[in-house]
Chain A
Amino acid sequence: MTTPIIELRGITKSYGTIYALGGVNLHVNPGEVVGLLGDNGAGKSTLIKILAGVIKPTSGEILVNGSAASNWSPARSRAAGIETVYQDRALAVQQSIVRNIFMGRELAGPFGWLNMRKQIAEAERLMREIGFTSKVFSPHSIVGQLSGGERQGVAIARAILKQANLIVLDEPTTALSLTETAKVFHFVRQVRESGRSIVFIGHNIHHVFDIAERFVVIDRGRVAMEKTKAEVGSAHALIEFMEDVAKPHHAREIA
């Protein structure tokens, strides 16, 4: 048995009387691509924000490389090599591209003085690697002046800046054109080939089926299905299952 690089056990999250998550288990093995599926409001983003330490779960356990983590926080999860591209992109739009890429992880010398040259050189390299538009952008450009897809490029650049162990992508292609989407998938394959893990959230089931090896379907805060690609068989089967899940509760129970 391989030890999962991260494991969530019995995670619940309630907002007042509403349960966003009602006891979810999720694990990610080294080098594995997990597709996380579910309807709007199913709890996917909440789950990955708990994984990233942004939201504190109401109850449940988080294990990193098999050992329980205490005081789980964004800083801890980043230190553990987990990088997240959030659904809402989470950029500081009045700041430059460089400042966004190095947010919370600035390259600094003695006493915290920034190494501006190195940051700019790194940002330039990353932007070339992602190649997110035909236009020539400067690392000094203000993020607020970029288009939605270009901003997504910055968010992805930030996630791959360091050799992360796990990259979490929450609907990374929603705002993107066909070519941009293709770039993201190309990038996901690269990450997979380099032996790192990915959690991919998406609503396009064909895409998710293509890219992932294991699928976890969340429905109203619970895991409704967890299967490997071989077990699912085809994208069509996955779609049928998702449609079934989407039916109201009572309809399914009667059937």
Chain B
Amino acid sequence: MADVAHAKASEAVDLHPSERPLRRFIVANRAALGSLSIFWLMLLAFFTANPVVFSNWGLYTAVMTTLPVTLFLVAPLVFVVTSGEIDLSFPAVMGLASLAFAVVVQAGYDPLLAMLAAIVFGTLLGFGVGALVVYGGLSSLVATLGMNFMLRGVILIVTNSKSIAMPDLVDSVAFKLFSGKVFGFPVQMFWAVLFVVFCAMLYNRHRFGAHVHVVGDNPDSANEMGINVNWTRVKVFGLMGLGAALAGVFSTMINFTWWPTSGDGYLLPVIASVFVGGTPPWGGIGTVIGGAIGAMTVSFIQTGVVGVGLSGFYVQFFYGLIIILSLLGHRWNQVRYR
């Protein structure tokens, strides 16, 4: 009875525009939707330029073999940026964690165990970096830049800059589970999507995600409401370490080889993906799904430019062009409230 009366009453009142379901969906996801439109526009441009090459499924599977590595890095970095920080140390953490993987595999243990070791090691490294930044009261931009150099240095010193080949990986259960192909579809894409979905849930529907948002938005207020601001920030870096470890393991399994430079090439594309995806640089808001779409966009640029028939020299130019265009695109729907 009371419910019916209430329903009628709320019908009588005009719904606030932001309450209409479709409108609310669009407003809530406008950054991700914006990134998606940018992605489709780019794809459309490539397709019109060379329909033959871009009708070839092989081109897309090629992208989908390497895209997962980026996705494992992009999703946690959205948390870092939302919390008002930045992490430039993830390439070295990725390298160190995958070194742990390679060492354990080489020692003759099961690759599944090696994966676990890499994940634990990478996460701990992430927490370590976070603790240094947060409790040391350092600027995350500068401190993580320093950590990236230092940890990469450790890698070079420890391994004498020698790579580790693991040809036996092909026959392992771990490889079939995490790096094989199912019906011609790269299976690592499945795991990466699962990870992105998990991160998106964590970001939007978990207490941790809620804390990350308010800590990035107004740390004083978060503190006044009893949230442990410092610990929340440290945990965000821990999550970044976890993602870096996963990225390291997956990229090592793709190549059957660990390289001392492992992770190095990901720094700029991953950071670009986060911003192309619609997460603003000032903290407090962001989108994990948008970041994943941004990663798709960035991953397709190289393949696309070459596929269109342009020389590789154009790749960098188009990287820059797409980043700038998408930032301009996001500009009008990112309002910064103060």
Q: A106-B207, A114-B207, A141-B16 are in contact. Are A93 and B217 (CB under 8 A)?
A: yes
Q: A90-B218, A93-B217, A112-B208 are in contact. Are A73 and B226 (CB under 8 A)?
A: yes
Q: A90-B224, A94-B337, A145-B337 are in contact. Are A112 and B214 (CB under 8 A)?
A: no
Most buried by A among B201, B225, B226, B338: B225
Asked whether, in the complex, the Cβ of A91 is within 8 Å of the Cβ of B221, the reply is yes
Asked whether, in the complex, the Cβ of A95 is within 8 Å of the Cβ of B226, the reply is no
Q: A74-B223, A138-B16 are in contact. Are A143 and B214 (CB under 8 A)?
A: no
Asked whether, in the complex, the Cβ of A94 is within 8 Å of the Cβ of B226, the reply is no
A112, B225: Cα distance in complex, Å: 17
User: Does B222 sit at the interface, judged by CB under 8 A?
Assistant: yes
| The residue from A52, A75, A106 contacting B210, defined by CB atoms under 8 A apart | A106
Asked whether, in the complex, the Cβ of A84 is within 8 Å of the Cβ of B217, the reply is no
Contact residues of A between 40 and 79, Cβ < 8 Å to B: 52, 54, 73-75, 77-79
How many of chain A's residues touch chain B, expressed as a range?
35 or more
Q: A104-B227, A138-B18 are in contact. Are A113 and B205 (CB under 8 A)?
A: yes
User: Does B162 sit at the interface, judged by CB under 8 A?
Assistant: no
User: Does A182 sit at the interface, judged by CB under 8 A?
Assistant: no
Asked whether, in the complex, the Cβ of B214 is within 8 Å of the Cβ of A142, the reply is no
Asked whether, in the complex, the Cβ of B217 is within 8 Å of the Cβ of A95, the reply is yes
User: Does A99 sit at the interface, judged by CB under 8 A?
Assistant: yes
A113-144: contact bitstring with B at CB < 8 Å (1 yes, 0 no)?
11010000000000000000001111011111
User: Does A92 sit at the interface, judged by CB under 8 A?
Assistant: yes
Asked whether, in the complex, the Cβ of B226 is within 8 Å of the Cβ of A75, the reply is yes
Contacts of B210 in A (CB 8 A): 99, 102-103, 106, 114
A93, B28: Cα distance in complex, Å: 15
A136, B228: Cα distance in complex, Å: 34
Asked whether, in the complex, the Cβ of B337 is within 8 Å of the Cβ of A140, the reply is no
Contacts of B206 in A (CB 8 A): 108, 112-114
Most buried by A among B201, B226, B285: B226
A112, B232: Cα distance in complex, Å: 14
Contacts of A94 in B (CB 8 A): 213, 217, 284-285, 336-337
A136, B15: Cα distance in complex, Å: 7
Q: A94-B284, A112-B207, A114-B206 are in contact. Are A99 and B226 (CB under 8 A)?
A: no
Give 5 nearest A-B pairs by CB, closest first. Answer: A144-B337, A104-B225, A75-B226, A92-B217, A90-B221
Q: What are some 12 contacts across the A-B interface (CB < 8 A)?
A: A86-B224, A91-B221, A92-B218, A94-B213, A94-B284, A94-B285, A103-B221, A112-B206, A137-B16, A140-B24, A143-B337, A158-B225
Interface residues of A (CB under 8 A from B): 52, 54, 73-75, 77-79, 84, 86, 90-95, 99-100, 102-106, 108, 112-114, 116, 135-138, 140-145, 158
New contact pairs (15) apart from A99-B213, A106-B210, A108-B207, CB-CB < 8 Å: A77-B226, A90-B218, A90-B224, A91-B221, A94-B284, A94-B285, A95-B217, A99-B214, A114-B210, A136-B15, A137-B16, A140-B19, A140-B28, A143-B337, A144-B338
